[in-house]
Amino acid sequence: MNNKKKTSWFSYLLPYLIIILIIAGIVTIVNMSNKASITYYEGDIIGSISEPTDDQIKTKAEGSVLWTERITSIKVSYYDGFVDISGKVMKSNGKRDGIYSFSSRITGSESNIEVLSYIFQNRMVDGSNDNLYYGNSKDGSEFSISNPYASNFWTDYFPIICISLLGVGFVIFLISRMGSSIAKSNSQTMDFNRSRARREDNSNVRFDDVAGCDEEKLELMELVDYLKNPVKYANFGAKLPKGVLLVGSPGTGKTLMAKAVAGEAHVPFYSISGSDFVEMFVGVGAGRVRDMFKKAKQTAPCLIFIDEIDAVGRQRGAGLGGGNDEREQTLNQLLVEMDGFSDNQGIIVIAATNRADVLDPALMRAGRFDRQITVPLPDRKGREQILKVHARNKKIDSTVVWKNVAKRTVGFSGADLANVVNEAAILAVRNRKNAISIKEVDEAIDRRIAGPAKKSRHLNELERKTVAYHEAGHAIIGLTLPASDVVQKVTIVPRGMAGGYVLSTPEDDRFLLTKEELTAQIVGLLGGRSSEEVFFDDISTGASNDIERATRIARAMVVEYGMSTLGPIQYESNGGSVFLGRDYTSNQKNFSGAVANEIDKEIRKIVDEAHQTAINIIKEHKDDVILIAETLLDVETLNAEEIDYLLKNRHMPEEKEVEEVKKSVEVTEEVKETELREEIKPDSKEENKEQK
């Protein structure tokens, strides 16, 4: 500590010392600029006069260069064989008037000094005064004769002392800097075992900012209430849960919910990522876990949030890295801290991951993570609430109905919906709009699904026509097949790698899919390929992705879901070793070669039947396909209302008619929802209580 104080004191004074040296140098340079050089020759002043008379001295003095100026001070120093003359003169004529310094050296002896003293003072100097004399001349000028061999502190010793002190100070400064850098490196070395958890005491996120997951919020709100009112739970003998694991797809709001807990709890909240524990040095991760819980105990009750815990909590016993792996040591320490011999009363661990399948079973058991909360993708109502939350501070036009937008965004996560609203705001600024309209929202959804529109991609007429009939084939199957999803939009504007696409969403959010619905998906995917066969008697590469997805669904129906004549037997599973890579060990085959042949036949049978169904539907509604395709070639994009009007009236609607169609659709949907609520409404108060 003392060394640090000395170093800081010297570092504080060093800038001022440098400034003083700079100022001294500037003053020296200025003085040198005012220095006049006057040359004296031996014959001009002294000549060979040994005992000059007054007339001779006067004559020489008047002819001397010195007397052409007014001398204010003169200093004469005698050395062996020469004499130094220095002083100051005042110029009264010329362009640069002022006082200037001069210096000169002449050869001679002590007698020359006597002559010079007579010249400058009109009197002789007694030689018995050790060659040192001070006096004033008749005109007021100062004259001094100094002994050059006499010592002078300010001229002889002070400069040396200053230079020595500056040198020593510079060396001390270098040594102190080296010492501080070494101390810093040593402190960083010792900091390896310190926790990287960041403490947050003033989070601005609240539970009101989290939408679309009401049941999950209730679980976490109960934790907050426990921290605020522990006595209420202690009266019933309830103990504080040690850990809560949030599991869900990416973007569903797990981290946001943890931030809301931090904002509502009003207790110390430590946040850290799972990757912050793992380092290249063995034992560092375990040390950081110990230090994190040590700090948490000092501020209990508190919360610890570990994001992406799968980075450190993967299953142990891989057989490849051995038992001394750094990640395994870190996990072992985490297991001990969460539920070991030491009691961590008042510490709640909240962890988030989207790979719960790879976590170690010891970490998942009760007593460590007592609660496992699954955060799913939001439903239609949740999507509407999320959209409204993210639209709070934005200018929204009255044409935007978030309820309708929520219907078009099936499968979107909370992060996707936040991105849609933000992209819509950016597009409104780009288009110089006063508010965000439904046009910008629709474009933002399309950009999220397939990327920005590539208007610079120019397709020839044959390609545009092929794409139009391809997408029209997809659309007509979605409009006619009962189990298909509802067609929301058809476009032939290129986006990403696709020349066009059809946006289809289920009428309601579903958690289960039937065999009929999966078969309808395969038929819809093959509709584009079938349309090309019917209208062009040829096929293109545009259906490659459709064929891939259709084959994947058909194979899953046979080997996983048991939806074939082979019976309810699972022939393949997606399980595998997480350490060897699931892609290498996935789809484990538990069947013989004969069964593999039967599986291939069943997959081919499902795809062929769906292909034939798609061809039959397109041939049956050939006129509708032509109408939609030719309209797409003109307008490029059709939404659900425009498609419905087009098929009924065989032409595109006017602007007024479009508004009327939208209103009628909204009224029809409201009537359907009202009827649905009436159907599920309980008949009595007792049933209502039971339902609650």
**What digits encode the pLDDT tens for the residues 222-244?**
888 888 888 888 888 888 788 89
Q: How far is CA 467 from the centre of its chain?
A: 40
Question: Is there a contact between 264 and 213 (Cβ–Cβ < 8 Å)?
Answer: no
pLDDT digits (tens, 9 = 90+) for 308-354: 898 888 887 654 544 457 778 888 888 888 886 666 677 889 999 98
Tokens of 86: 């220095």
Q: How confident is the model at residue 75 (pLDDT cuts 50, 70, 90)?
A: confident
Q: How far apart are CA 299 and CA 200, in angstroms?
A: 12
Confidence of residue 202 (pLDDT cuts 50, 70, 90): confident
Q: In what order do the strands lie in the sheet with 82-91?
A: 98-107, 82-91, 70-79, 142-146, 133-136
In the chain, % of residues over pLDDT 90? 20
User: In the prediction, which pLDDT does 67 show?
Assistant: 41
Distance, in Å, from the CA atom of 462 to the CA atom of 540, rounded to the nearest integer, reads 11
SS3 content of the chain, % helix, strand, coil (to 5): 55, 15, 30
For residues 619-633, average pLDDT? 93
> What is d(CA 242, CA 357) in angstroms, rounded to the nearest whole number?
21
pLDDT tens per residue, range 508-546: 777 788 999 999 999 999 999 999 999 998 898 888 999
The pLDDT of 101-117, averaged and rounded, is: 61
pLDDT confidence tier of residue 91, bands split at 50, 70 and 90: low
Q: How far apart are CA 207 and CA 218, in angstroms?
A: 10
Quickly count: other Cβ atoms within 10 Å of residue 293's Cβ. 24
pLDDT of residue 47: 36
Cα–Cα nearest to 401, from 386, 417, 387:
387
368/342 Cα distance (integer angstroms): 13
**Taking residues 436-444, what's their average pLDDT?**
91
Q: How high is the mean pLDDT of the chain?
A: 75
- pLDDT of 53 reads 43
Question: What's CA 36's distance to the chain center, in Å?
Answer: 66
DSSP state of 359: B
CA distances (Å), origin 206, targets 265, 304, 348, 353:
10, 17, 19, 21
- Give the residue, 4 or 212, on which the prediction is more confident: 212
**H or E stretch including 178?**
helix 158-190
Instruction: Report the SS3 class of residue 164.
Output: helix
Close Cβ partners of 141 (under 8 Å, ≥ 6 residues apart): 70, 71, 72, 73, 74, 120
CA–chain centroid gap for 271, Å, is 16
Task: Give 315's DSSP letter.
Answer: P
Tokens of 227: 């921290």
DSSP state, 397? -
Mean pLDDT along residues 135-145: 51
Could you give the CA distance from residue 550 to residue 559 in angstroms, rounded to a whole number? 15
CA atoms of 557 and 602, how far apart (whole Å): 9
Q: Which amino acid is at 150?
A: A
Determine the pLDDT at residue 100: 65
Active site residue 609: no
Residue 144 has pLDDT above 70, yes or no: no
The span from the CA of 91 to the CA of 565, in Å, is 123
First CA to last CA distance, the chain: 67
Q: What is the pTM of this model?
A: 0.65
pLDDT tens digits, 565-602: 888 988 877 654 444 444 444 555 677 888 889 999 99
Three-state secondary structure readout of 4-72: HHHHHHHHHHHHHHHHHHHHHHHHHHHHHHCECCCCCCHHHHCCCCCCCCHHHHHHHHHHCCHHHCEEE
Structure tokens at 168: 């020593």
Residue 452 CA to its chain's centroid (Å): 24
Active-site residue (options: 471, 532, 641, 642): 471
Q: What is the CA radius of gyration of the chain?
A: 47
pLDDT of residue 175: 75
Q: What beta strand segments (E) does 499-584 contain?
A: 501-505
Residue-wise pLDDT for 249-278, tens only, equals: 888 888 888 888 888 888 888 888 887 777
pLDDT value of residue 220: 87
Question: Position 453: which residue type?
Answer: A
Distance (Å) of CA 499 to CA 407, 614, 639, 648: 24, 21, 17, 27
> What secondary structure, in 3-state letters, does 219-239 show?
HHHHHHHHHHCHHHHHCCCCC
